[in-house]
Structure 1
Amino acid sequence: KHLNAVLKTLRNDAVLKSSSYCLLFDLKLQQMMTSEEVDSGECSEEFFEKPDSLKPHEFPEDLILREAQLAGSSNLVSGAINEFLEVHINSSGFVSPFMLVFSLPDVSRSWIIETKGIMGKLLIREQ
């Protein structure tokens, strides 16, 4: 629910303010952050010092983000790699298609959350 609300908020704000945002998933810190895009289309790194959009959101301890990737990409970000998955939301409301895999700490159950369509509608299914 939280991810869906964040996507909707950023998408609406991007369209209304004619700006672009990045939604960043950090597998090492198990959190989601937002930043504005700079003119080059890259995500601003100022969110580390002062997140001005939304506060970083830590995932619950009983739910682990195991994998994250952009749809159609073979560049999988897994927990062993210290990288971010950057999802771009542009001023027309387009959301980069992405997929996340969450699981319980003991990996007994897992879920895939992925976007459908250009507006970033979320679908969830058990794996």
Structure 2
Amino acid sequence: MSARNDRPRRKDFVRSYEVTTRWGDHDSYGHVQNVVYYSFFDTAITEFLVESGTLDIGNSPVIGLIVASNCNFFAPITFPDRVHVGLRISHLGNSSARYELGVFRNDEDEASAIGEVVYVYVDRDSRLSASIPAHVRDELAGLAV
């Protein structure tokens, strides 16, 4: 992840997804609540997985579960900002993938926040660790930096 004073730029991410803020996302301090950023992350990752055909939410035999996540904040976002979530893979293991996500406000080039989400792939039924399926690995590799 980037150092606090080294704000990532849009070009640093392979894909981007737009997410709109909602009236209830911000708090009495006038900015989007910290917990909402995690929703932005989850939305962008899930949209990528479904769009790429690597996740059938109800039926995929191997699924990714979040085992770790964090977020560093640089600048506030508020309602009614448009949010763009940049997506990249910083590590692709046998059964895990580390996503890095940049959150960009409106048309700004520097990230307002950067997050990290680690997925571990497991068998849907047993919840035991499983290798990332080849077709999923191929799509994830396309996000690798």
| Pairwise same-fold verdict (TM > 0.5) | no
Q: Which has the higher helix share?
A: 2
Which has the higher Rg, Structure 1 or Structure 2?
Answer: 2
- TM-score, length-normalised on structure 1? 0.29
Structure with the bigger RCO (C-alpha within 8 Å, sep 6+) is: 2
- TM-score, length-normalised on structure 2? 0.27
